[in-house]
Structure 1
Amino acid sequence: MQFWSGTAFMKTSEILALARMFDEAGYDGIVCSDHMIYPRELSSPYPDSPTGKPMWAPETAWPDCWVQIGAMAAVTTRLRFSNAVYIAPARPLLEVAKQVATAAALSDGRVSLAAGVGWMREEYELMGQDFATRGRRLDEMIPALRALWRGGWVSWSGQHYQVPEMMIEPHPEAPVPILCGGESDAALRRAARLCDGWVGYAYAWDDAVRHIERLNGFRREYGRENEPFDVMLALLEPPSAELYKRAEDIGITAVMCSPWAGTDLATGGVERYREPIERFAETIIDKVRA
């Protein structure tokens, strides 16, 4: 079982110090969340919200994922980095290919790409990308990225993307794992058919089991049930070594955790996170790995 944490809603200037703490305490990775902007006129409904509005304030900071990952990689030695999730089809194909490949090269291969289609039409429109075709374009982007990351002269010819023969360097020394986010049938099918894993959200135990059963059904349908496959999600249950061992038994390979959950961190500098990070490692992670 791998243990990852996120940095969403944290103070941007504290993220690098937090990454060092996670690295030193033996955690496996950090996921970065992605939003470009918060428009004053937001018409796109936020999923699963009774009001249709996001739960965060417009001034909430969302640091660029790949700038953040590059900076965290520079101050750590073993921690891995991914997304929960990166809205890849809101960007041009070559931009995504270049950013992820550079991060992979600078981190000595400690990155994966976890992509999703997102929900905010305004972000797509501001980036000049078509919102209506985002799912079909992500389906094509995944194999296109693998082709562009091979090194040497590379090209891609598809329905949505055309890349003439070219070199794009640096290229990853090893294949970059690609995971997919989202709970819809389309998203789970995308993960099962095209990806190396799936990234979910935060679930009660029964809901987590239900989503994994759906995912496994699609993997069987595509003949991939025996291939290595990562499943990363958060569990809305009291943390314990027993919980995470049960999670491992049903195919969850990584959990996203908040070691400071329930702790009053309203005041103090970044060092206020150290004690709960180390306590969770000692009382939970070490027992799971024993």
Structure 2
Amino acid sequence: MKFWSTTAGLDDAASVRVATMLEAAAFDGIICVDHADPRGCSSELPTPCIGSGIRSWVRIEAMADETNWLNFANTIRLPCPANTLSSIAGEVASAAVYAQGRLALTVDTAAEWNQSGSLECAPDTELARIDEMTSAVRRSWRDGQQGCGGRPTGVAAYQIRAHPAVALPVLGSGESPAHLRRAALRCDGWVGGPYSLEEVLGYADTLTGLRIDHGRIDQPFEIMVSFREAPSAELYKRAEDWGVTAAIWSPWDVAESKSLERCRASIEWFADQFIRAAN
């Protein structure tokens, strides 16, 4: 079992310090939540999106400069006018160069906003648009240049000079049958949570079954989740037995305050209980 943390709920200014703490405690990585929020945005017009704080790839570049092997994943929302094809392809690629390939792209769909009516985009249409964009982004990273037609990737040809030396994993998210199917068939992994253990086992079983049915069971695939239950060796062992590859845990969720020293103490406690003990 791998162990990751997340920047969700963490002050931007503390990110770099916390990343060094996590690496020293032998955590495998940290997920950087992007602040661009599609609520109140038109799905057609390039209007500004609600959001605050530093964007995830900027955080990753800063954290990568101060760490040696800690891995990163950035969670972005699609569809979202702030996340265009060229911005994702270029900025994530630049972050990957800074991180020397220690980066995965997680696509967090905007289905929740669709259901509330904030975006005029049905879930099936949304997933088709996401597939089109992520396929184009992968081609950009591979070839260093891209010219696309049609929506949502209708942009003039452009070139990415700093593109990743190796293919970056693309991870999916979402709990609906369509989202799980997309992750199992088109992505390199799936991220979700917080869920109960029973929910996690159900999603893991569905993803494994889909990968078996479509001949992808032998390909690398990450299942990364956060749990509602308190951390325990039994919890992680049972999840691992069902195919979960990484558990996500936030020290600031249990610290009495979000001070760096409180976070350090929580990180050290977790590492002693579940990471160093396993080694």
TM-score range, shorter chain: 0.7 to 0.9
1:229 deviates by 0.6
Q: Note the residue ranges of structure 2 that are not aligned, 5 or more in a row.
A: 42-49
**Structure 1 residue 31 corresponds to structure 2 residue 21:** no
**Structure 1 residue 235 corresponds to structure 2 residue 234:** no
Determine if contact 1:198/1:231 at 8 Å carries over to the other structure: yes
In structure 2, what is the Cα distance between the partners aligned to 1:156 and 1:200? Answer: 31
**Which residue number corresponds to residue 197 of structure 2?**
205
* CA distance 1:95–1:131, change in 2 (3 Å): farther
**Structure 1 residue 271 corresponds to structure 2 residue 264:** no
**Which residue number corresponds to residue 47 of structure 1?**
none
Determine if contact 2:254/2:266 at 8 Å carries over to the other structure: no
User: What CA deviation, in whole Å up to 9, does each residue of 1:56-96 have, x standing for no partner?
Assistant: xxx9955311111111111211111113x311431211111
The aligned amino acid for 1:82 is A
Q: Which deviates further from its counterpart, 151-160 or 197-206? A: 151-160
* CA distance 1:164–1:200, change in 2 (3 Å): same
In structure 1, what is the Cα distance between the partners aligned to 2:51 and 2:133? Answer: 29
The aligned amino acid for 1:89 is P
Where 1:265 maps in the other structure, the secondary structure is coil
User: What CA deviation, in whole Å up to 9, does each residue of 1:244-268 have, x standing for no partner?
Assistant: 22222111111101235443126xx
**Which residue number corresponds to residue 22 of structure 2?**
22
Where 2:171 maps in the other structure, the secondary structure is strand
User: So what's the TM-score if we normalise by structure 1?
Assistant: 0.82
The aligned amino acid for 1:249 is D
Residue of structure 2 aligned with 1:193, choices 182, 185, 210: 185
* CA distance 1:155–1:116, change in 2 (3 Å): same
**Structure 1 residue 64 corresponds to structure 2 residue 55:** yes
In structure 2, what is the Cα distance between the partners aligned to 1:284 and 1:162? Answer: 47
Q: Which deviates further from its counterpart, 179-188 or 6-15? A: 6-15
Identical amino acids, percent of aligned pairs: 39
The aligned amino acid for 1:273 is C
Q: Note the residue ranges of structure 1 that are not aligned, 5 or more in a row.
A: 43-58
In structure 2, what is the Cα distance between the partners aligned to 1:23 and 1:60? Answer: 28
1:32 deviates by 1.6
Residue of structure 2 aligned with 1:75, choices 60, 63, 66: 66
Determine if contact 2:27/2:70 at 8 Å carries over to the other structure: yes
In structure 2, what is the Cα distance between the partners aligned to 1:260 and 1:74? Answer: 23
* CA distance 1:187–1:245, change in 2 (3 Å): same
User: What CA deviation, in whole Å up to 9, does each residue of 1:75-132 have, x standing for no partner?
Assistant: 211111113x3114312111110011101111100110010222336xx98xxx9744
**Structure 1 residue 226 corresponds to structure 2 residue 218:** yes
1:242 deviates by 3.0
Residue of structure 2 aligned with 1:120, choices 113, 132, 137: 113
In structure 1, what is the Cα distance between the partners aligned to 2:66 and 2:155? Answer: 35
Instruction: Name the count of aligned residue pairs.
Output: 264
* CA distance 1:61–1:10, change in 2 (3 Å): farther
User: What CA deviation, in whole Å up to 9, does each residue of 1:169-226 have, x standing for no partner?
Assistant: 1110000000001111111111011100000111111111111112222223322122
Q: Which deviates further from its counterpart, 213-222 or 191-200? A: 213-222
* CA distance 1:9–1:260, change in 2 (3 Å): closer
In structure 2, what is the Cα distance between the partners aligned to 1:263 and 1:163? Answer: 46
In structure 1, what is the Cα distance between the partners aligned to 2:113 and 2:23? Answer: 33
In structure 1, what is the Cα distance between the partners aligned to 2:64 and 2:70? Answer: 8
**Structure 1 residue 106 corresponds to structure 2 residue 98:** yes
Determine if contact 2:171/2:187 at 8 Å carries over to the other structure: yes
In structure 2, what is the Cα distance between the partners aligned to 1:253 and 1:62? Answer: 30
User: What CA deviation, in whole Å up to 9, does each residue of 1:143-177 have, x standing for no partner?
Assistant: 21111111355444566424565531111000000
**Which residue number corresponds to residue 140 of structure 1?**
132
In structure 1, what is the Cα distance between the partners aligned to 2:135 and 2:11? Answer: 35
Where 2:127 maps in the other structure, the secondary structure is helix
In structure 2, what is the Cα distance between the partners aligned to 1:101 and 1:138? Answer: 18
In structure 1, what is the Cα distance between the partners aligned to 2:249 and 2:84? Answer: 32
* CA distance 1:68–1:130, change in 2 (3 Å): farther
* CA distance 1:153–1:19, change in 2 (3 Å): closer
In structure 1, what is the Cα distance between the partners aligned to 2:257 and 2:270? Answer: 15
CA RMSD of superposed structures (Å):
2.7
